Chain A
């Protein structure tokens, strides 16, 4: 295989991936239910004196009505396992777990609480595997919000 053929193959694979990614990405996640969930998430943050990660439109456009980008991967455990390797400090190659506090997982907990509470047990099991240097900023009883 010549070098030109290698470059052509790599470019071809990336071009195909680009088309697939541009076609399949959901550009219109915002709907009435997404707005309602976004309001709920903002209220949850504000109730605890935290700044929401955006306004209603912004959150609805990113998370939609199901926050699938957060909720879907929880089930298989790989993403949570990977998160364990990435809760720390470092660069790309070298990354070390450190003693941290619960603020790193607020987003995960809050989003799951609002969008996919059925996954909360999984997340709680995951969080139980940590010893944070302070008490969790969002308590478990907030799931009723």
Chain B
């Protein structure tokens, strides 16, 4: 296979690495058996609609979300969708890469974790190494590295975790969390339960992101839907079974969630006397995180490049690519912003302490993409019914309405203050989130559209 091509299985694994990992498992394990419900309901109302609708759209149009929204709503909305995808990733990298730093410190020397400088160095080194790899290797190399990473760092440790959990139960040990029918649903505590359930609707965000690489498949109309179906199955298995296995062996609320997945693995390995696996598992989990990072690095930024080229939405400087077609200058500028954010995150406690607010805002902005995606899908089915599609989603209107309502509900619930917002006035929280979503999701893309110049639309500007 030529180096710039992607196998459909690699695309499926890239999608998995974008959406699922073992990192959330210890936190979700606290919910015990109810974590199954917390993942299955969003799978019905969000994952399946998103995946099937994306499969239909990618089998008919190349370019991913921006192109679908451009065709189905308008070019300006296509640009907005690309921007909404891209904006989230900038804030995501510092938290993901600080997790890499803390995993390395857990194994090598826990004292390293007490140093913000160590965290900052890891974040910045890994980020720029990722940019270098993307620019030198192109999407073919990224696909191979990312798919290997998810296999080594998520699937294999996940199977091991679940296997050990089953052995633990077969040995006659009682499950740490009750597994009876009475614990299938989360305990009802009123508004907190609604926030809990609805907030998780977006858990599968990112399923559509790799559609931007659909042209790199040999037979996109047939292979993209196959990749999505495989990804759906793997994502469900990875998100549901590992937390369940942890909740059998370790009452994970009784470990420290600061050390999270590493401490959970370490505790399970200690039970079986196989702690020699802890450093290997640590490295595997780092590999999985880097796989997810590389996938996110190459997706939304490419989407932004394509929309910038198609409609001249960004100055020619941002449209420059390497000879392998990689969006060099977008990655470089994104890198500068990420570096500044990472330094603030790692070295200024007030920033890391408030970072959850940025994440709340940016996840809401990302969810806007799904509103545009479902509207576009409905419009395209109505306005271009005969456009060739390799796959047609069944009951598309039902899927779109369900997914749209779920996305809207998840955006709406982000305005309800979580436990992290201790003493403030709830309306202050509404104002903070509303302002953030307004600035990042509306004002910036509208300003970029207004500032656009006709001369920005250029044919090709090689680096």
Residues of A bordering B, CB below 8 Å:
1, 3, 6-7, 10, 14, 17-18, 20-22, 24-25, 27, 45, 50-54, 57-59, 61-62, 68-101, 103-108, 110-112, 128-133
Contact = CB atoms under 8 A, between A and B. Distances in A.
For A52, A83, A89, which residue has the most chain B Cβ atoms within 10 angstroms?
A: A89
Given A58-B271, A92-B24, A98-B199, A82 B352 contact: yes
A99 B197 CA distance: 11
Contacts of A111: 255-256
Contacts of A22: 279-280
Contact of A107 (B102, B133, B203, B255): B255
A63 B106 CA distance: 11
A77 B353 contact: yes
Given A27-B275, A45-B254, A133-B192, A92 B200 contact: no
A83 B192 CA distance: 19
B305 interface: no
For A20, A50, A73, A91, which residue has the most chain B Cβ atoms within 10 angstroms?
A: A91
B353 A129 contact: yes
A50 B253 CA distance: 10
B420 A69 contact: no
A61 B110 contact: no
Given A77-B116, A89-B28, A82 B102 contact: yes
Contacts of A71: 110
Contacts of B360: 96-97
Size bracket, chain B contacts:
35 or more
A89 B359 CA distance: 12
Contact of B19 (A69, A89, A93, A110): A93
Contact of A108 (B205, B258, B283): B258
B137 A3 contact: yes
B119 A78 contact: yes
B91 to A, nearest CB: 10
Nearest to A57: B270
19 contacts: A1-B136, A14-B283, A24-B109, A27-B276, A53-B267, A72-B105, A72-B112, A76-B349, A78-B113, A80-B352, A81-B351, A91-B24, A94-B206, A94-B366, A95-B24, A97-B419, A106-B254, A112-B256, A129-B353
Interface of B: 3, 17-21, 23-24, 27-28, 30, 38, 92, 95, 98-99, 102, 104-116, 119, 133, 136-137, 140-141, 144-145, 176, 189, 191-192, 195-196, 199-200, 202-206, 235, 239, 250-260, 262-263, 266-267, 270-271, 275-276, 278-280, 282-283, 286-287, 292, 296, 345-346, 349, 351-356, 359-360, 363, 366, 410, 414, 416-423
B199 to A, nearest CB: 4
Given A75-B114, A76-B116, A99-B191, A89 B203 contact: yes
Contacts of A68: 110-111
